[in-house]
Chains A and B, each alone.
Chain A
Amino acid sequence: MRLSTLRYYFREAFLSIWRNSWLSVASIGVVAVSLLILGSSLLLVVNANRIAQGLESSVEISVFIKDETTPDHVRDIKFEIEARPDVARVEYVPKEQALKEMMENLGDDQDILAGLEEKNPLPDAFRIKTHTVDQVAPLAAWLEAFARVDQVRYGQGVVEKLLTISRWVRTAGAVTMVLLGVAAIFLIATTIRLSVFARRKEIGIMKFLGATNWFVRFPFLLEGMLLGLAGSFVAVVVIYFGYLSLIGNINLSLPFMRLVTERSLIISLMEGLLALGLAIGATGSMISMRRFLKA
């Protein structure tokens, strides 16, 4: 593509945006709002997952085994647990070791456990870690079903709650985003349709001068893409600075809350939003052109 042609495309696109300025502003606004919602819910999900991950290391499943279980049985159960793909690590903790750990934890107060060595009341147990937090609950349920298993314990509640929130945010965010995204696409399609309509005479002249369809269409495609990009740019700027100030505030007031601050992650999120805005704009204009700029 020649530079002069490119310049022509951009000039025409900007001219159209300028002529339909009100509709252009509305399109940009709707794209911005929908991407703002998408971006913030993505950030929320990323952070919720991060916190859940932090909890993950402290979440392990303790499986207490019935007293009369033979070492052979223990070995069989361990093999079976290890064979599962969601299990990261299995540790067998005999009751003696459990008692020793407990005493060590008590430190100076370990006297209260004195005499228990002979008649240890603790059960033998497995300590199991999964790869991710959301594997904990299903695995626990599976373990409950073993005949030799007496009790399954893990940090019930906290993890689920966090995951529920994260899932809920994800769904709500996705639904709003899709609805607003569709609205944005159609608003852009309307804007482009008006641009095409305003130029139908010029388009006619271009056609008899021997302009290819793409030469005629490209400024309109560009117009849609620029509108989408402008909207996503607004969203990105708002999210970026909003998130920075949120990180600052949280570090001051809730220093134990660790938010995601990796630049690379935030930047790729912003890039994704910009690309999505571009795609929304392109889709909007393609819809218009398919209907109003046939051959």
Chain B
Amino acid sequence: MIQFNNVTKIYANGIKAINDVTLRIRKGEFVFLVGPSGAGKSTLTKLLYREEIPSRGQIIFNGKSLARIRPREVPYLRRKIGMVFQDFRLFPQKTVFENVSFALEVTGASNREIRKVVPVVLNLVGLIEKADSFPDYLSGGEQQRVCIARAIVNNPVLIIADEPTGNLDPDTSWDLMNLLLDINRRGTTIIMATHAWDIVDAMKKRVVALKDGRVVRDEMRGVYGHEA
């Protein structure tokens, strides 16, 4: 489903954030991206949702070369990808329900569809009771679950989670991981960049380790490792 062919990303300031990466991720996989800060994990994900464009090499997503996608089509690419960030990025003045429904509104979904789908998704992440609360009144774990609800409400084929547990305590982190695992079992591919070595070690999923923009290790049932 995702194929990186000799991808290099050099930022305008000359930093080579991704260096000749070739990588293949199949549909339904759960992939951890590990590596020290500045290794290029976030850049790798940004290349996928076309926040950044490779300097060299090509990326195939769902059979399409991302280089060929016109700027006009980028929003439609992003609707196939759900994103979860360490800093949540919720709308503070919208309720939980509205934050989730907004991801549907953006795609021009009807009110009927919104009323049908949003409660289902909120139920899935266990936040149906908090539908009318505002993000600032929720715990970090709850906020991150709102983000996951928002990420999956459009039925994406891929979820990109960039250090989603970075701001959460260990117990809450595990709740979140179980939720992601659950979503992965329903067939959604998940790419998660993380520093949480205990989670990586316990889950025994594919681990791609980056260092200085290069893939230094790629194991199917991997552990966090010691490069970091």
* B75 CB contacts on chain A under 8 angstroms: 207, 210-213, 215
A4 & B106 in contact (Cβ 8 Å cutoff): no
Contact present for A210 and B154 (CB under 8 Å): yes
- Would you call B127 an interface residue if the criterion is a C-beta within 8 Å of the partner chain's C-beta atoms? no
Q: Which chain B residues (188-225) contact chain A, with CB distance < 8 Å?
A: none
A-chain residues with CB within 8 Å of residue B107 when the two chains form the complex: 210
A205 to B, closest residue via Cβ? B89
B91 adjacent to A2 (CB under 8 Å): no
Chain A 106-133 interface mask (CB, 8 Å, partner B; 1/0): 0000000000000000000000000000
A206 to B89, CA, bound (A): 10
Q: Which residues of B contact A211 (CB under 8 A)?
A: 75, 106
On whether the beta carbons of B78 and A208 are closer than 8 Å, the reply is yes
A295 contacts the other chain (CB 8 A): yes
Cβ contacts under 8 Å, A3 to chain B: 111
Question: Which residues of B lie under 8 Å from residue A210 when comparing CB positions?
Answer: 75-79, 103, 106-107, 154
Query: A1-41 vs B: 1/0 string, CB under 8 Å?
Result: 01111001000000000000000000000000000000000
Closest chain B residue, CB of each to CB of A202: B91
Q: A190-224: which residues lie under 8 A (CB-CB) from chain B? A: 201-202, 204-213, 215
Shortest Cβ gap from A62 to chain B (Å): 71
Q: How many residues of A contact B (CB 8 A)?
A: 19
Cross-interface CB contact of A2 among B76, B83, B108, cutoff 8 Å: B108
Whether B132 is near chain A, meaning CB under 8 Å from some CB there, is: no
Which of B76, B106, B114, B154 has most chain A Cβ within 10 Å? Answer: B106
Measured CB to CB, the nearest residue on chain B to A211 is: B106
B105 at the interface (CB under 8 A from A): yes
* Chain B residue at smallest Cβ distance from A204: B89
* Least Cβ–Cβ distance between A200 and chain B, in angstroms: 12
Please, could you name 27 A-B residue pairs with CB atoms under 8 Å apart, sorted by A? A2-B108, A3-B111, A4-B105, A4-B110, A4-B111, A4-B114, A5-B105, A8-B105, A202-B91, A207-B75, A207-B78, A208-B49, A208-B51, A208-B78, A208-B89, A209-B78, A209-B79, A209-B150, A210-B77, A210-B78, A210-B107, A210-B154, A212-B72, A212-B75, A213-B72, A213-B75, A295-B71
Q: Give min CB distance, B53 to chain A, whole Å.
A: 12
Q: How many angstroms from the CA of A210 to the CA of B72 in the assembled complex? A: 11
Contacts of B49 in A (CB 8 A): 208
In the complex, A215 Cα to B51 Cα: how many Å? 18
CB-based closest 8 A-B pairs = A210-B79, A210-B78, A211-B106, A210-B75, A212-B75, A209-B103, A209-B106, A4-B111
A238 to chain B, nearest CB (A): 37
Chain A facing B: main interface SS: helix
From A201, A204, A215, A295, give the contact of B106 (CB < 8 A): A215
Is B61 an interface residue when CB atoms closer than 8 A count as contact? no
What is the minimal beta-carbon distance from B216 to any residue of chain A, in angstroms? 28
Shortest B153–chain A CB gap in Å is 10
Task: Give B71's nearest chain A residue, CB to CB.
Answer: A295
Q: Which B residues are in CB contact (< 8 Å) with A213? A: 72, 75
- Structural contact, B106 and A2, CB atoms closer than 8 A: no
The digit string for B77-90, where 1 denotes a CB below 8 A from any CB of A, is 11100010000011
Which A residue's beta carbon lies closest to that of B89?
Answer: A205
A89 smallest CB distance to B (angstroms): 63
Roughly how many angstroms separate A5 CA and B101 CA in the complex, as a whole number?
Answer: 12
| Residues of chain A contacted by B72 (CB below 8 angstroms) | 212-213
- A208 and B156 CA atoms in complex are apart in Å by 13
Which residues from B are CB-within-8-Å of A207?
Answer: 75, 78
In the bound complex, CA of A205 to CA of B94 (Å): 13
Q: Does B102 have its Cβ within 8 Å of any Cβ on chain A?
A: yes
Q: With contacts A209-B102, A209-B103, A210-B154 known, is A5 near B108, CB below 8 A?
A: yes
Interface centre among A3, A202, A204, A295 (most CB of B within 10 A): A202
Q: List residues of chain B with CB within 8 A of the CB of A4.
A: 105, 110-111, 114
> Quick one: CB contact mask for A168-204 with B, threshold 8 Å, 1 for yes?
0000000000000000000000000000000001101
